[in-house]
Amino acid sequence: MYLRIVGLIVAIFGVGTSELMPSGMLEQLAGGLDISLATAGLSVTVYALTMAVGGPLVSAATTAMTRKRILLLLLGIFVLGNGIIAAAPGYTVVLIGRVLTALTHGTFMAVSVVTAGSMVPAHKSGSAVAGVQLGINLATVLGVPFGTLLAQRLSWRSSFAAVCVIAVLAAVLIMITVPDSGTPESSSVRSEVRAFSRWNVVTTVVATVLCSAGMFTIITYLAPLLTRGAGFPAEVVPLLLLGYGAGSVIGNSVGGKLADKSLSAATAVLSGSLTLTCLLCWLGTFSRSAMIPVLLVFALVTFALIPCLQTRVVKTAEEAPTLSLTVNMSAFGLGAAIGSWYGGKIIELGVGVRTVPIGAAVLAIAGMSVIVITVLLERGDTDASRADSRSRMTEKEVT
């Protein structure tokens, strides 16, 4: 099965690496372009904001194309964007390249998931989709640490050039393995939009934005937190990011299983755990030995929460499969944009990089509050519905 979707896995590995890589090389990017750390962090903000806004627009613009053509077109734009970044004479051009690559992200991810599910028998579609998601996990475990290492040993430009090579390889594999048929499933736009008028769909999306913002306030400035905060040598950062990536893989697996067992409880508990781990990250900046397990726990919690939030959005808007997936990508992207911008503003205040996790905890508390209130109100609606059903049954028995 994995041979059929290997091109999609490699492509998503490249896309995920390009998205997350700047967080491990902000200091090299800032030093190479003679800009501040907070300004360098805008490369994450711009990417996330473009992904949030551009995803639905690109999806709408490519509805008439086959999935294979969409994937190859977006990979071509992705290579162009990363090539522009690698050759950029200044920071403005870097941001232009980030905008181009970000435009491809949401639609590429959504089409890849649908394509993977259609390339295997129905009873294996879940495994195929999970296999595609493996690309993101590999990007966290291998892509980001390797990109950071390249930036330290050679230059930050070489890291983006390497992503171009990965994307070209993925395009070749997709041309070979993905059939040239199938367009994205069409559904009633009116029915999909109607699904998003439900209060619990809206609050779940809001919670996703807030929790994602809390995560990315820390993730964007992870390397400075490890070096300037906890005092690790820059040479050790790739190894620490490798451990972070391993924690993300475990967290993703755990989160998926928890979502299957008890979605509402898992989402509420993990959102509360996110707040605690943000505060632990702050404490970890005062001790190298403490920061190592804290980093692992932070990765576990954040990547366990992500599938829970994704599943909640899809289940609460179950009759809107296409729109829910796109909006979910946009919600995470918007949260990442807010978090990376917010973290940069905290640093610009002059209070030090160690304060960033405290700011992240504030956003995490807001996200947790929205989730807990939503879950409690949903339970209240369920109880009221059951009571109403019993009352009607009693009336029928009496008559």
- Homologous superfamily of domain range 188-388: MFS general substrate transporter like domains (1.20.1250.20)
If you average pLDDT over every residue of the chain, what do you get? 84
Task: Return the number of other C-beta atoms located less than 10 Å from residue 118's C-beta.
Answer: 16
d(CA 19, CA 268): 27
From its phi and psi, is residue 181 left (phi > 0), alpha (psi between -120 and 50) or beta? beta
> Computed from CA positions of residues 143, 147, 150, 154, in that sequence, does the dihedral angle turn out positive or negative?
positive
Closest CA to 101 of 135, 77, 71: 77
Specify the fold of 1-181. Growth Hormone; Chain: A; (1.20.1250)
Residue 206 clears pLDDT 60, i.e. is over it: yes
For 237-268, b/e burial (b = at least 16 CB within 10 A) is bbebbbbbbbbbbebbebbbebbeeebbebbb
Q: Indicate if 188-388 has the same CATH topology as 1-181.
A: yes
In the structure, what pLDDT confidence band is assigned to residue 358 with cuts at 50, 70 and 90? very high
For residue 342, the model assigns a pLDDT of 92
**R_g of the chain computed on alpha carbons:** 21
Q: In this model, does residue 351 exceed pLDDT 90? A: no
Each domain of the chain, given as residue ranges in start order, spans: 1-181, 188-388
Cβ atoms < 10 Å from Cβ of 373: 13
Q: How confident is the model at residue 141 (pLDDT cuts 50, 70, 90)?
A: confident
In the block, residue with structure tokens 């627009």:
57
**Structure-token pair, residue 232:** 């690790």
pLDDT of 115 reads 81
Distance CA 25, CA 31 (A): 10
pLDDT at 143 over 80: yes
Mean pLDDT of 339-368: 92
Express each pLDDT in 8-34 by its tens digit: 889 999 999 998 888 788 888 888 889
Per-residue pLDDT at 208 exceeds 80: yes
Per-residue pLDDT band for 274 (boundaries 50, 70, 90) equals very high
Cα distance between residue 26 and residue 31, in whole Å: 8
pLDDT classification of 196: cutoffs 50, 70, 90: low
Residue 369 reports pLDDT greater than 90: yes
**Residue that wins the pLDDT comparison between 396 and 268:** 268
The pLDDT value given to residue 190: 63
Say how far apart CA 209 and CA 216 lie, in whole Å.
10
**In angstroms, rounded to a whole number, what is the distance separating the alpha carbons of residues 128 and 68?**
17
Q: What percent of the chain has pLDDT over 90?
A: 36
Confidence of residue 352 (pLDDT cuts 50, 70, 90): confident
pLDDT band at 301 (very low <50, low <70, confident <90, very high): very high
Distances (CA, A) of 138 to 12, 16, 245, 250: 9, 9, 8, 12
The yes-or-no verdict on residue 398 having pLDDT over 60 is no
Please write the tens of the pLDDT for every residue from 39-98.
888 888 889 889 888 887 887 788 778 888 999 999 999 999 999 999 999 999 999 999
* CA distance between the termini of the chain: 59
Residues of 39-63 as b/e, b for ≥16 C-beta within 10 angstroms?
A: bbbbbbbbbbbbbbbbbbebbeebe
What are the CA-CA distances from residue 127 to residues 1, 114, 341 (Å)?
9, 12, 36
Q: Comparing C-alpha atoms, which of 356, 386, 381 is closest to residue 200? A: 381
Sequence-separated (6 or more) residues with CB below 8 Å from residue 301: 251, 270, 273, 274, 277
- 0.85 exceeded by the pTM? no
Chain segment 277-299, per-residue pLDDT in tens: 999 999 999 999 999 999 999 99
